[in-house]
Amino acid sequence: PNWDPRRLWMTQYQELDRVVRIAGQARDGEDVSEFLRRLSLSDFFYEVRLLPAQKTVDPVTHLELVRFEISAKVRY
């Protein structure tokens, strides 16, 4: 309940044949882990997997961020 979702930004959402890929950036790896956990607990997503992530520095804010990508299947 104490997680602040404003620490994570989705930059891309693609869906093809009920397989989704979500890309984004987060302040740190813990935020990515929490987002992954919440997707896994959702009734709408299953087989949620974190693809290789990397640390990067935002060119505008100069903040260190984690760029991530997640693959999952969706049901609706």
The residue to which tokens 């299947």 are assigned:
73
DSSP 28: S
pTM for this prediction: 0.89
| Interval 12-56: pLDDT, tens | 999 999 999 999 999 999 999 999 999 999 999 999 999 999 999
Q: How far apart are CA 46 and CA 24, in angstroms?
A: 19
Position 9 pLDDT exceeds 80: yes
